[in-house]
Structure 1
Amino acid sequence: MTTVTLPPGPSLPRSAQGAVVLAARSQGLRRMRARYGDAFTVNVPIFGRTVVISDPDEVKQLFTASTDLVENVRPNLGRLLGPGSLFALTGEEHREQRRLLVPPFHGRRLAAYEKTIEDETVRETATWPEDRAFATLPSMRRITLNAILRAVFGADGAELAELRELLPPWVASGSRLAVLPIPRTDLGRWSPWGRLRLARRRYDAIAGRLIDEAAEGDPGERDDVLALLLRSRHTDGSPMSRAQIADHLLTLLVAGHETTATTLAWAIERLRRHPAILRDLAEEADAGGGALREAAITEVQRTRPVIDVVGRHVIADGYRLGRWTLPRGCTVLVAVALMHEDEALFPHPRAFDPARFLGEQPDLYRWVPFGGGRRRCLGAAFAAMEMNVVLRTVLRRFTLLPTAEPGERRHSRGVAGAPARGGLAVVRRRSPAAG
């Protein structure tokens, strides 16, 4: 029998540990790291016995481990997004579906989406007020939602208008419920889970109409994601099922706008508190450059990661992870924020310093806002391009006024964390010649 060795951790009852995590996850994890070191064990509702790690060597080992040893954390967003979602799939089925979903979000296809994102940014920011504070997060959500809707489905239409209405409240509610138990009794519209199920049925009806419409035409004449999925084939030559396509599309829509929008709101929040960097970014945008802008976005993701933990579930007996031997069923969480705040990995970690990423790509086992390994965010390249285009467009069209106010606190939205005041901005429009 394999001897289990776990990191130290608090001895409080599971309910008490869960209350700490729910009430103040970031602060609680920091306190435990200060007391127990870069690995510790907690016992919390839903996940049970959980090992939290932030050593980059152990993180790399976890992310590159065989799927015979570890799989996606349980429970996960697959409960909300459907059994065909990449979050729900495991093993060979996950690898096969991921292979089919990679092409739309890599290579030359990314460039085709830039004009769409710029157009959506121009359209949305035309409504921005001047010389008074407003939250940018709602605008960023509309930009990124409209952009991913157009990338996924191509043209606009009545169904996309329905999805614009349906998805934002669904995402907000789902983010809060994602790690809570599903009640045995379905109370319909009288419970949050019931309302999610009703919204999912409405989504399925809309997606079904859009899939039928695309299939009735010639998918080969379209270059949107839906058409590409209809044309894709498994290794045995069979097409995706309609249910698989619907689940994949929902996953792309949900994952493809909320975290990107929140990072953009954090970017506004950070840059307004660093006027010298903001000035250099505006000058670079006017000159047609982008290196500092890309580095600044990378630094925003380091200092304000939207998703602060990512996890795996041990499915083997006696999985050896660095210094520890973990039992079957154990959850392992990578503490993203703790890694990004580690002085040994990022000198002066609390300083906002884009220069640390100028001219070099971040180490993907130390800088992990997109997760890592086989389950690294499929749309990471799309998200990076989208944030770059949105921020470039804003800098060219507006003067973003700096502030001496304290930084905005992190507000937990369940799975994600957003600036508590929505990424407040004060802007002035620039003349066309200046932009």
Structure 2
Amino acid sequence: MQVAYALAAPNRGMYRRRDRYGDTFTITMPVFGRSVVISDPAEIKQLFQTRTDVAENLEPNLGRVLGPGSMFALTGEEHRRRRKLLVPPFHGRRLAAYETIVEEETVRELASWSEGRAFATMPSMMRITLNVILRAVFGAEGAEFTQLRELLPAMVTLGSRLAVLPVPTVDWGRWSPWGRFWAMRREYDAIVERLIAKAEQDAQLDQRDDILAMMVQSRYDDGSPMSHSEIADELLALLSAGHETTATTLAWAIERIRRHPAVLRDLVAEVDAGGKALREATIVEVQRTRPVIDIVGRKVKAESLPLGRWTIPKGYTVMVSIALIHDDDAVFPNARRFDPSRFLHTKPDLYEWIPFGGGTRRCIGAAFANMEMNVVLRTLLRDFTLEPTDEPDERRHSRGIANAPAKGGLAVVHRRVAPPLATATAERSEVAS
């Protein structure tokens, strides 16, 4: 009964259990088995700070579809070594260099938008984030860019749905969903192998900013390189973590600000003045009120895990309910209210605001994703007038891993005549800095 209810009403089910049992309760989860769900800030912080030999990554996890060489699948020292290797390109100079790519892809996609009629923005956001990742992460161009752009949307969509289902013991080939996914994965591996071969032969590889080029050149502390299969797995992991989730958050951002005209008006005024503080706060608030991922967690490896008021036995899964902590009035006063101003002069506590997970497994692409959403929204509000609406909120629709707006983030837009001079000047200054 718990499993059926979790599948039929995943969000409502969590709220009802909290109302009935409090901020901690046990549940039998599909795939994960016997689990403890927590939403107390102190216990969440303690879990995220727990040593990896006591509580490690969820099992099973996305490594089943992304491959054993991805950070989703790695644990312990192997995970630490890989994370150390991959953190640098998501910060500093490299991150600033990706802004131009994001704006180029946004302008290209928005040029196809129709004016004066309602349309779902989610497909556009998916194309923008996919193209950005193919250029900034894969360094793809030409034939490989086209092939990956055609292959990956279907592969990611199928993989996200299979990630929460058991892996079959028999391969039925293309007659089964898993068989179709594995066929796509073989095609993907062949394309990435060609990209790696091109990179290894590139005399100016050290001048490239894409992450594939960095992976090819990177070395662990012992001097060993990443294998080709590890690179392929990690590229797919970065795509999966940063493509659909970022696109979905952007669709939610449009859905939210259209229903809050005062916020929309202030955002447009800020863009025209060349500012960004309210836009950044709005992105944080969208992620708080409409997190696209339901849960993060750990698997208890030690004989027991002392966690606040509880002692949790070996083998149990500890789930952190992102929705419940984000919706807690004791943590975020008047939590149901969409109010970006709550983050205007303060940064969120990373043990209370957790759309990117936490601890040693916090998403390494968080800064990249926030930069990308910032640039996309800035470009949209600069170039288009977004009509507000008093229609009911769009319901959450599960896409397997991510929760998307049921109608795709509907929008009605009109093209603005030209960006104000102050905006253009401020943007050049922002990119330069």
Same-fold call, TM cutoff 0.5: yes
Deviations 1:94-116 (A, max 9, x none): 00001111111112211100010
Q: Aligned to 2:137, what secondary structure does the other structure show?
A: helix
Pick aligned residue for 1:217 from 202, 206, 220: 202
Pick aligned residue for 2:282 from 268, 291, 296: 296
2:256 counterpart residue number = 270
1:167 counterpart residue number = 152
State how many pairs are aligned: 420
Pick aligned residue for 1:427 from 410, 413, 423: 413
2:68 counterpart residue number = 83
1:4 counterpart residue number = none
What amino acid sits opposite 2:54 in the alignment?
Answer: L
2:166 counterpart residue number = 181
Q: Is the 8 A contact 2:30 2:164 kept in 1?
A: no
Matches within 5 A, 1:370-385: 370-385=356-371
1:5 counterpart residue number = none
Q: Is the 8 A contact 2:97 2:209 kept in 1?
A: no
1:325 counterpart residue number = 311
TM-score, length basis structure 2:
0.96
Structure 1 residue 205 and structure 2 residue 203: aligned?
no
Runs (5+) with no aligned partner, structure 1: 1-15
Q: Aligned to 1:347, what secondary structure does the other structure show?
A: coil
Q: Deviation of residue 252 (structure 1)? A: 1.1
Deviations 1:75-110 (A, max 9, x none): 110000000000000000000001111111112211
Q: Is the 8 A contact 1:96 1:234 kept in 2?
A: yes
Distance 1:63 1:215 in 2: 38
Distance 1:372 1:433 in 2: 38
Structure 1 residue 261 and structure 2 residue 247: aligned?
yes
Moved more, 216-225 or 242-251: 216-225
2:333 counterpart residue number = 347
Pick aligned residue for 2:213 from 212, 216, 227: 227
2:273 counterpart residue number = 287
Runs (5+) with no aligned partner, structure 2: 424-433
Cα RMSD between the aligned structures? 0.9
Q: 1:76 to 1:399 in 2, by over 3 A?
A: same
What amino acid sits opposite 1:324 in the alignment?
Answer: W
Matches within 5 A, 1:11-410: 16-154=1-139, 156-218=141-203, 219-410=205-396
Distance 1:294 1:19 in 2: 38
Distance 1:47 1:41 in 2: 12
Q: Deviation of residue 155 (structure 1)? A: 5.2
2:429 counterpart residue number = none
Q: Is the 8 A contact 2:216 2:226 kept in 1?
A: yes
What amino acid sits opposite 1:432 in the alignment?
Answer: A
Q: Is the 8 A contact 1:167 1:254 kept in 2?
A: no
Q: Deviation of residue 273 (structure 1)? A: 0.2
Identity over the aligned pairs, expressed in percent? Answer: 68
Q: Is the 8 A contact 2:119 2:412 kept in 1?
A: yes
Q: Is the 8 A contact 1:411 1:418 kept in 2?
A: yes
Distance 1:176 1:154 in 2: 27
Q: Is the 8 A contact 2:383 2:419 kept in 1?
A: no
Q: Is the 8 A contact 1:32 1:40 kept in 2?
A: yes
Q: Is the 8 A contact 1:137 1:265 kept in 2?
A: yes
Distance 1:233 1:169 in 2: 33
Q: Aligned to 1:43, what secondary structure does the other structure show?
A: strand
Q: Is the 8 A contact 2:174 2:180 kept in 1?
A: yes
What amino acid sits opposite 1:98 in the alignment?
Answer: R
Distance 1:379 1:351 in 2: 28
Q: Deviation of residue 66 (structure 1)? A: 0.3
Moved more, 241-250 or 390-399: 241-250
TM-score, length basis structure 1:
0.95
